[in-house]
């Protein structure tokens, strides 16, 4: 059994990790930390876990964590970078669901996250945890930067075309819609039902932290500089990301060939579902499941629209983290990740 720990267990990615790891056949969660709730039972905060989880929150204690095989950080940026070096030194694998290791360049990190990177050495060792593009490097790594939720949806939707050099790079638009759980489990006025239900608005239009992450990874995959217009929107729903991706082809291409690019690229992927050409995936079709569904359109010759949906807490966070863990420990990649989406 893999002994696992979760740092920051009172947020949505923390409880989602528990939902996935408790029934996982090869894992036992032994430690879950929360500074604020130390000493309290986890299921007192998350009653969906009553009867299946006997854990109690503990205060973060580096000593306790070093006895584990893997530690998940479900924390805001700035936390994992302070603990990862010691854990790695003790041969504990680290999977950071926060942003500390997503940007390979520490200066870019500093620019977007407003703080100097405090662990640039281990940053060099971190691998981007998008298995569909970095499967091999993940397996050989000890420190995984679990991708952001928007980047997961956008990269999976655009990479097949960019990888093949089919798109004009300067016309990319990613118009993204996210459920409110993407903002975290936090008592902000703008997230309460009377403010955020029955309304739609954009945010961060002038610049969002996920843009440099997307651009850097897509540049790496495609071998070219990428400039993306990226607009996130807050949706009146709980879970789900819908990315509407716009690009223009360099050369004319039939719908059939366009579809084939995606179908072939993801033919062996257990967690990417390429739908029939011209489909309209709904976020509810992935609710609770570790899957990205993708559909391709060509409304007019040369104009490509890719629709990509994920559950931001599963394929966009905790599910992908478990997928990465499976890679780290040479388990079948689908272990513990076969939940069917909850519809309706």
Q: What are the CA-CA distances from residue 251 to residues 104, 202, 206, 285 (Å)?
A: 33, 33, 31, 33
- Looking at beta carbons only, is 116 or 342 nearer to its own copies? 342
In the range 297-336, which residues lie near its own copies by CB under 8 A?
A: 297-300, 303, 305, 307, 309, 313
Active site residue 149: yes
281 lines the binding site for its own copies (CB under 8 A): yes
Which listed range, 44-52, 107-115, 141-149, 258-266, lies at the site for its own copies (CB under 8 A)? 44-52
Applying CB under 8 A, which part among 94-102, 141-149, 282-290, 321-329 lies near its own copies?
282-290
Contact residues for 195 (Cβ-Cβ < 8 A; gap 6+): 189
Under the binding rule (CB under 8 A), the answer on residue 56 touching its own copies is: no
Rounded alpha-carbon distances, angstroms, from residue 314 to 38, 134, 152, 164, 287: 26, 18, 11, 28, 8
**Which residue, 246, 247, 252, 256, is CA-closest to 277?**
256
Among 120, 192, 225, 264, binds its own copies (CB under 8 A): 192
Alpha-carbon distance 12 to 173, whole Å? 29
Q: Please state the closest distance from residue 11 (CB atom) to its own copies, in A.
A: 10
Question: By C-beta, is 60 or 232 nearer to its own copies?
Answer: 232
Rounded distance between C-alpha atoms, residue 287 and residue 239, angstroms: 7
Closest CB to its own copies among residues 35, 185: 185
272: which strand partners? 292
Query: Residues 3-42 vs its own copies: string with x where CB under 8 A?
Result: ---------x--x---x--xx-------------------
Segment 144-183, which members bind its own copies (CB under 8 A)?
171, 173, 175, 177, 179-181
Nearest Cα to 232, choosing from 258, 259, 200? 200
Closest to its own copies by CB, 155 or 318 = 318
Question: C-alpha dihedral over 92, 97, 100, 104, to 10 degrees?
Answer: 90
Give me the residue label for tokens 């945010």: 203
Between the alpha carbon of residue 35 and those of residues 3, 41, 88, 156, the distances in Å are 21, 13, 22, 35
**Residues of this chain, 217-236, that bind its own copies according to CB under 8 A:** 227, 229, 231, 233, 235-236
Select which of 53, 149, 176, 292 is catalytic.
149
Rule CB under 8 A: say whether 283 interacts with its own copies.
yes
Q: How far is the CB of 307 from its own copies (least distance, A)?
A: 6
Nearest Cα residue to 201 out of 225, 220, 183 = 183
> Applying CB under 8 A, which of residues 35, 50, 67, 250 lies at the interface with its own copies?
50
Residues 232, 235, 238, 241, Cα dihedral to 10°? -40
As a whole number of angstroms, the distance between CA 183 and CA 185 comes to 7
Q: What would the x/- binding string for its own copies be over residues 238 to 277, using CB under 8 A?
A: xxx-x-x-x--------------------------x-x--
Is there a contact between 5 and 65 (Cβ–Cβ < 8 Å)?
yes
The answer to the question of residue 108 lying near its own copies (CB under 8 A) is no
- The rounded distance, in Å, linking the Cα atoms of 77 and 118 is 11
The single residue among 1, 28, 40, 52 that binds its own copies, judged by CB under 8 A, is 52
Select from 202, 224, 250, 264 the one that contacts its own copies (CB under 8 A): 202
The answer to whether residues 97 and 151 touch, using CB atoms and an 8 Å cutoff, is no
Is there binding between residue 189 and its own copies (CB under 8 A)? yes
Contacting range for its own copies; rule: CB under 8 A; set: 50-58, 98-106, 120-128, 157-165: 50-58
Q: Are strands 228-234 and 172-178 parallel, antiparallel or unpaired?
A: parallel
Q: Which of residues 119-138 bind its own copies (CB under 8 A)?
A: none
Residues classed as catalytic: 149
């Amino acid at each position: 059994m893999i002994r696992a720990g979760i740092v920051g267990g009172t947020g949505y990615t923390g409880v989602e990790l528990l939902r996935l790891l408790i029934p996982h056949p090869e894992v036992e969660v032994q430690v879950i930390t929360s500074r604020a709730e130390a000493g309290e039972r986890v299921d007192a905060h998350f009653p969906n876990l009553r009867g299946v989880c006997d854990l109690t929150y503990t205060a973060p204690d580096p000593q306790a964590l070093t006895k584990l095989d893997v530690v998940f950080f479900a924390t805001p940026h700035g936390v994992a970078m302070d603990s990862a070096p010691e854990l790695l030194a003790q041969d504990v694998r680290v999977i950071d669901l926060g942003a500390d290791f997503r940007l390979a360049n520490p200066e870019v990190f500093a620019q977007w996250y407003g703080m100097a990177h405090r662990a640039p050495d281990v940053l060099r060792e971190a691998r981007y945890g998008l298995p569909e593009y970095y499967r091999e490097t993940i397996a050989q790594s000890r420190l995984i930067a679990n991708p952001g939720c928007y980047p997961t949806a956008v990269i999976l939707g655009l990479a097949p075309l960019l990888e093949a050099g089919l798109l004009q790079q300067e016309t990319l638009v990613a118009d993204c819609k996210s459920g409110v759980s993407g903002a975290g489990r936090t008592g902000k006025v703008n997230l309460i039902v009377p403010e955020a239900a029955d309304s739609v608005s954009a945010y961060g239009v002038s610049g969002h932290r996920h843009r440099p992450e997307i651009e850097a990874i897509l540049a790496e995959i495609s071998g070219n500089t990428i400039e993306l217009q990226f607009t996130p929107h807050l949706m009146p729903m709980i879970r789900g990301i819908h990315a509407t991706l716009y690009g223009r082809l360099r050369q004319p291409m039939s719908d059939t060939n366009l579809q084939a690019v995606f179908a072939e690229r993801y033919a062996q992927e257990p967690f990417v579902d390429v739908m029939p050409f011209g489909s309209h995936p709904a976020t509810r079709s992935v609710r609770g499941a570790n899957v990205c569904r993708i559909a391709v359109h060509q409304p007019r010759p040369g104009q490509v629209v890719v629709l990509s949906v994920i559950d931001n807490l599963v394929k966009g966070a905790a599910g992908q983290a478990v997928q990465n863990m499976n890679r780290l420990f040479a388990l079948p990649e689908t272990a513990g990740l076969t939940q069917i989406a909850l519809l309706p």
